[in-house]
A = this chain, B = another copy of it.
Amino acid sequence: MAGSAIKPTPLLKDELDIVIPTIRNLDFLEMWRPFFEQYHLIIVQDGDPSKTIKVPDGFDYELYNRNDINRILGPKASCISFKDSACRCFGYMVSKKKYIYTIDDDCFVAKNPSGEQINALEQHIKNLLSPSTPYFFNTLYDPYREGADFVRGYPFSLREGATTAVSHGLWLNIPDYDAPTQLVKPLERNKRYVDAVLTVPKGTLFPMCGMNLAFNRELIGPAMYFGLMGDGQPIGRYDDMWAGWCMKVICDHMGWGVKTGLPYIWHSKASNPFVNLKKEYSGIYWQEDLIPFFQAAVLPKECVTVQQCYIELAKQVKEKLGKVDPYFIKLADAMVTWIEAWDELNSSEEKSLKQPNGTAK
């Protein structure tokens, strides 16, 4: 036994996949080794499929490039974005695990105020495994956390909470700003460690960022579609936002909770604000119509599965946002294709279809 260290089994080791969209070698994984090494990775290559992505030794992964996506989905591959990190949602679709953690390849391990490295994944898992409180705000934040509870005036009938579907983590260093804010405040860094996890209340929308995000795939997976972005599309950098708004409307309808706050990751580099401005331009403009649309969206009580909710939402997108721009008609169709592809891959007979590149330990 000399020289061999026995590592403790991390939480949900066999029930969670880590999904990483990338266009480059995954050297960033070195820093995450102590936290990710025992989990399975799904890497989705978002650019030129002829390029080889190097993954550090010792990681257990499967990798999909555009050719794989086309082969696996056939004509339905049209719903998966190309040359944009929005393609990460393909990884959600091919995963067979109950939980997903997705992280960008420019995100590193952050430190808490005591200087300790933050195990982001462990915190996400804690967030997902404990209930949410979407119906009433608890002023001491997460009541299920050690050292906290529900405060005076919190109805007892609501203290059981709701099942948590999504855990949205934050970023130290480079904040997730849009291009105009990046341009105006190029030097702003997020240095504030806010030691809290809280539930985004029912009926409230928030900007969901895909950089550091975990969710219960079994519950909400089919709503985590990152839309049509990047190559051939008039918009970028709204993939995670789109997913977040759709997902939130559906979680509110289904009675599930969405948390935001801890854990932090260290976001290392700001993307180019000029490039971003071009990608975001239409999104910034359309957003003014999107938010009222999602705020007003109501799903009929006949929608009892996420798939049904999502198809209904696609119908409403086509009907109401199609007037804003024809892009939303195309997007609504892609939303339907996404659900068809999801159901196809997630039925019992689909397994033989998948033959990714990768290694298995």
Contacts and interface: CB of A to CB of B under 8 A. Distances in A.
B140 A175 contact: yes
Interface in A185-211: 185, 188-196, 198, 200-209
Interface in A154-211: 154-158, 168, 170, 175-178, 180-181, 185, 188-196, 198, 200-209
Interface residues of A, number: 59
A283 to B, nearest CB: 8
Contacts of A281: none
Contacts of A181: 149-150, 152
A116 interface: no
A152 B203 CA distance: 20
A37 to B, nearest CB: 29
Contacts of A208: 153
Nearest to A260: B139
A152 B237 contact: yes
A209 B177 contact: no
A288 to B, nearest CB: 5
B177 A151 contact: yes
Contacts of A157: 288
A24 to B, nearest CB: 22
A1 to B, nearest CB: 41
Given A139-B260, A204-B203, A175 B151 contact: yes
Contact of A139 (B137, B155, B168, B193): B168
Interface in A238-260: 238, 240-241, 244, 260
A275 interface: no
B170 A139 contact: yes
Contact of A204 (B137, B148, B151, B260): B137
A165 B177 CA distance: 28
Contacts of A177: 149-152
A315 to B, nearest CB: 24
From A113, A205, A208, name the one whose CB has the most chain B CB atoms within 10 angstroms.
A205
Contacts of A274: none
For the residues of A in contact with B, the DSSP-based class is loop
A328 interface: no
* Number of copies of this chain that the complex holds: 2
Interface in A31-71: none
B241 A152 contact: yes
A194 B195 contact: yes
A263 to B, nearest CB: 13
Contact of A192 (B188, B191, B195): B195
B200 A137 contact: yes
Nearest to A289: B155
A201 to B, nearest CB: 4
A284 interface: yes
Given A188-B147, A192-B147, A203 B200 contact: no
Q: Which 5 A-B pairs have the closest CB atoms?
A: A153-B207, A137-B206, A201-B204, A153-B241, A152-B178
30 contacts: A113-B113, A136-B207, A137-B204, A139-B168, A139-B170, A139-B206, A140-B170, A140-B175, A140-B190, A147-B190, A147-B192, A148-B192, A149-B177, A149-B185, A150-B181, A151-B178, A152-B237, A152-B241, A153-B287, A154-B207, A155-B287, A155-B291, A156-B284, A158-B291, A192-B196, A193-B195, A194-B195, A201-B204, A202-B204, A203-B204
